[in-house]
Amino acid sequence: MSLNPVEDIQDTTDSRAEEIRWALQLPERIRQLVRDEQREQAEKDFERLKALLENWENVKDSQELLSQCKVALAFWK
């Protein structure tokens, strides 16, 4: 617990924004990882995304993002 809750809120917001940016960039990152023969890392990132989306209930277009990542993994087999 902090004596300055405003900073805690800002830190949480910044962290969430970084997670969202990471998630939105993931389909391209997966494609690049697979091209670079780092499929294991691509699959780990995909699993991390699924875990994030489970915590972000009712996020608009989350299924579309998952689909894009699945296509990126499947396309580059």
Global pTM?
A: 0.76
For 61-75, the pLDDT digits (tens) are: 888 999 999 999 986
Tokens of 23: 């998630």
Task: For 16-72, write each residue's pLDDT tens digit.
Answer: 889 989 999 999 999 999 999 999 999 999 999 999 988 877 778 888 999 999 999
Closest CA to 23 of 47, 41, 57, 2: 47
Distance CA 14, CA 61 (A): 21
Question: What is the span of the domain harbouring residue 71?
Answer: 5-75
Residue with tokens 């689909």: 67
Domain count, the chain: 1
